[in-house]
A and B are shown apart, each in its own frame.
Chain A
Amino acid sequence: MNQTSSRSSVSPLRFAIQDLVAGLAMWRLWMAFGYEDLRQNYRRTLLGLTWIAISFGAFAFAYILIFSGLNQGHDARHFATWAVSGALAWQFISHVVLTGANVFIGSESWIKGVRLPLSVHIYKTLWRLAIQDGLSLVVAFALIFAFGSFSLAGCLVSLLAIPLYLLLAVPVQFIFGLACVFSRDLQQFIGTFMRIAFFVTPIIWIPVPGTILQHVADINPFAYMIDLFRMPILEGIFPLAALGIWFILFVVTSTLALIAYRWARPHLAYWL
């Protein structure tokens, strides 16, 4: 094993890709610790990880009950699927952004204690989210089958959203994770921003064509990301426009992540 560390040895693209690949190869490590982090949250509870399912189930059920009344113009079954699938997709998206903001700050003792690829911290976080929101996914489908309208084939197609979400989550977490180390105010800002973003994203409301809410949904990238999961279930079709937006977001965030990585990697341990 040979390693040279100096500023000039950092060729940005190769260095970043090496980090991603070397991190993937350590899958045993991040899977084990991602799972431990999750278990730590539910330690000494009788129901353990079942709480994740219960919590999401109760939350989504309350959505159906309360907000279907506010969306009178729509079929109740249609709204149930709309709200439950939206709530699940939003839960994952906001987890990615919020845990991303803390992914390196929260790993300070690791980053200063042992040399690991930075991507390990991201994979660990995403693995935890995958288990957590995977459990919620089972509950979401149960609720949709019970109370919603759905396309059975579409439910299978909707699972295509999972790899798309995870792929996009990697550069997104790199950007937010690194940026928040250098600007701790940003971390606070993101928390505030995501709470507002929930309301301008069509989860508990359905945009009516020609209204201002329709325009809000049209310019909201979160809305397209949710559509990747929701539209197949609801309409039985895969939304190609949303896939296009996903692709643009992926290219843009990957480029930004690369720039952030190149700029921040040599300084990261110093700033933590």
Chain B
Amino acid sequence: MARLVVEDLHIEFPVLTRGIGAARLMGETDDPRLVAGRRGKLFFRALDGVSFSLGAGDRLGLVGPNGAGKSTLLLALAGIYMPTAGRIAVTGSLDALFNPRLGFQPEATGRRNIYLRGLIQGWSPQRIEAATADIIDFAELGHFIDMPLRSYSQGMAARLAFAISTAFAPDILLMDEWIGAGDKAFQEKATARMRNFIDRTGIVVIASHNENLIAKMCNKTLRLERGRIVEHVQVSNEG
């Protein structure tokens, strides 16, 4: 069963102060997120005491201005940034749609890139094999699939990345903004596939500036400002 628990999460980035000096930086700003460490080191507290817990069926929307800590929170949930303090416990398979083109090889064919991306997703060769036909078909690549990726248009490469990323639903899905691809006709198709994909996912966490989307899609929202939760809304009737 999918479960995601975050307890008192703190994330602090080291700030390189070479040439500026930590003391001067501290003196010039009243940003409470700048904190002094040992031996004159300076840290930026991107997340400050964030706690929440999600269970199966939850769709959490992260909202807040730029630099509030939304993306940092997603990266921490994905296990990329280890908490400076606090704890994140994940039960279930987790998939993050941050960079669906990571690992794409321009000289390799589309088919080979499906295999390579599948390996990054942690799929078995059988699973990749089983998904390949559907991915090619959905991405509308036709005979281009056996041509090198560098011969694709931007749109074609984006469609391929999108089709691969949405082939199998994980237990927990993390998204930084809604992802889509292609021209107008394709976007409708992509939206339908994305909805279906999300419906099969246990927990979804999405960061977005599109509050309409969040309101439509999510049953919970967290508003972050300067690394802290300023509002935690739970909507009972799912949209």
Instruction: Answer yes or no: B84 CB below 8 A from chain A CBs.
Output: yes
The answer, among B81, B87, B115, for a CB contact under 8 Å with A270, is B81
Query: Size of chain A's interface in residues, with CB distance under 8 A?
Result: 32
The reply to whether B98 and A113 contact each other, CB–CB distance below 8 Å, is yes
Within 28-75 of A, Cβ neighbours of B (below 8 Å) are at 28-29, 32-33, 36, 39-40, 43-44
Across-interface contacts of A109 in B (CB, < 8 A) = 99, 102
Across-interface contacts of B84 in A (CB, < 8 A) = 7
Q: A110-B102, A115-B78 are in contact. Are A40 and B116 (CB under 8 A)?
A: no
Within 100-151 of A, Cβ neighbours of B (below 8 Å) are at 109-115
Across-interface contacts of A28 in B (CB, < 8 A) = 119, 125
The reply to whether A36 and B108 contact each other, CB–CB distance below 8 Å, is yes
Closest to B77 in A: A5
Across-interface contacts of B88 in A (CB, < 8 A) = 4-6
B112 to chain A, nearest CB (A): 8
**Which of B52-60, B89-97, B192-200 lies on the face that meets chain A?**
B89-97
Instruction: Answer yes or no: B14 CB below 8 A from chain A CBs.
Output: yes
- Some 26 contacts from A to B, beta carbons below 8 A apart, are A2-B90, A2-B91, A4-B90, A5-B76, A5-B79, A5-B87, A5-B88, A6-B82, A6-B88, A7-B82, A7-B85, A10-B82, A26-B119, A33-B116, A33-B119, A40-B105, A40-B107, A109-B99, A109-B102, A110-B103, A112-B75, A114-B102, A115-B79, A267-B14, A270-B14, A270-B81
A208 to chain B, nearest CB (A): 49
Chain A residues touching B, majority SS:
helix
Instruction: Answer yes or no: B182 CB below 8 A from chain A CBs.
Output: no
Q: A6-B88, A109-B99, A114-B96 are in contact. Are A32 and B82 (CB under 8 A)?
A: no
- Chain B residues packing against A (C-beta within 8 Å): 13-14, 75-76, 78-94, 96, 98-99, 102-103, 105, 107-108, 115-116, 119-120, 125
The reply to whether B80 and A36 contact each other, CB–CB distance below 8 Å, is no
Instruction: Answer yes or no: A265 CB below 8 A from chain B CBs.
Output: yes
A11 to chain B, nearest CB (A): 14
A168 to chain B, nearest CB (A): 27
The reply to whether A4 and B98 contact each other, CB–CB distance below 8 Å, is no
Q: A32-B116, A269-B80, A271-B14 are in contact. Are A39 and B99 (CB under 8 A)?
A: no
Across-interface contacts of B103 in A (CB, < 8 A) = 33, 110
Across-interface contacts of A6 in B (CB, < 8 A) = 82-83, 86-88
Closest to B92 in A: A1
The reply to whether A113 and B90 contact each other, CB–CB distance below 8 Å, is no
The reply to whether A111 and B83 contact each other, CB–CB distance below 8 Å, is no
CA distance A6 to B9 in the complex (A): 9
Instruction: Answer yes or no: A244 CB below 8 A from chain B CBs.
Output: no
CA distance A44 to B89 in the complex (A): 47
Closest to A115 in B: B79
CA distance A10 to B13 in the complex (A): 19
CA distance A109 to B13 in the complex (A): 17
A5 to chain B, nearest CB (A): 5
CA distance A143 to B72 in the complex (A): 55
The reply to whether A3 and B75 contact each other, CB–CB distance below 8 Å, is no
Across-interface contacts of A112 in B (CB, < 8 A) = 75, 80
Q: A114-B102, A269-B82 are in contact. Are A3 and B90 (CB under 8 A)?
A: yes
The answer, among B90, B91, B107, B125, for a CB contact under 8 Å with A39, is B107
The reply to whether B82 and A266 contact each other, CB–CB distance below 8 Å, is yes
Across-interface contacts of B102 in A (CB, < 8 A) = 109-110, 113-114
Question: A2-B89, A266-B82, A270-B14 provided; 10 other pairs, C-beta below 8 A?
Answer: A5-B83, A5-B87, A6-B82, A40-B105, A113-B98, A114-B96, A114-B98, A115-B79, A267-B14, A269-B81
CA distance A28 to B127 in the complex (A): 14
Across-interface contacts of A115 in B (CB, < 8 A) = 78-80, 96
CA distance A32 to B83 in the complex (A): 32
B36 to chain A, nearest CB (A): 17
Q: How would residues 145 to 161 of chain A score, 1 for a CB under 8 Å from any chain B CB and 0 otherwise?
A: 00000000000000000
Across-interface contacts of A3 in B (CB, < 8 A) = 79, 89-90, 94
Across-interface contacts of B125 in A (CB, < 8 A) = 28
